[in-house]
């Protein structure tokens, strides 16, 4: 095989890996939005029962569990950093849902719409 042919083969392999990454990214967005629906509902429930949005013990347990179950190749610190961001966004959505008027379907948190992140409650 010539150098040019080998290069073309390798470039095709890169494109195939990139297509796989695109598929995984699409799945991640769907999963994050599904997680966000949960966070919004938890925020609404917390509003009703008067619970605080911030639950540091819950967040700590989530991060520890995810670090422990992580098979790699991401290391534990990478998983922690990624999920800290997901949890931050979840907390933001919970706060918005808790501030939204009961029964209101207006705005970005109307039922049936999905955001991004999960709850830490």
**Domains observed in the chain:** 3-99 (1.20.59.10)
pLDDT tier at 105, thresholds 50, 70, 90:
low
Say yes or no to pLDDT of 113 above 70: no
| Residues 80-91 pLDDT 10s | 999 999 999 999
* Longest CA–CA separation in the chain, Å: 70
Integer angstrom CA distances of residue 13 from 9, 16, 18, 23, 44: 6, 5, 9, 16, 47
| Residues 47-79 pLDDT 10s | 999 999 999 999 999 999 999 999 999 999 999
pTM beyond cutoff 0.85: no
What confidence score (pLDDT) does residue 118 get? 40
Backbone angles phi, psi at 104, to 5 degrees: -80, 135
């Amino acid at each position: 095989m010539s150098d040019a042919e080998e290069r073309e083969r390798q470039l095709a392999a890169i494109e195939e890996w990139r297509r796989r990454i695109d598929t995984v990214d699409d799945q991640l967005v769907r999963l994050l939005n599904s997680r966000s629906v949960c966070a919004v509902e938890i925020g609404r429930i917390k509003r009703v029962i008067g619970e605080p949005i911030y639950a540091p013990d819950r967040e700590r347990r989530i991060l520890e569990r995810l670090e422990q179950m992580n098979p790699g190749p991401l290391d534990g610190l990478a998983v922690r950093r990624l999920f800290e961001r997901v949890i931050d966004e979840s907390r933001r959505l919970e706060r918005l849902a808790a501030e939204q008027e009961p029964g209101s379907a207006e705005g970005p948190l109307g039922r049936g719409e999905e955001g991004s992140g999960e709850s830490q409650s």
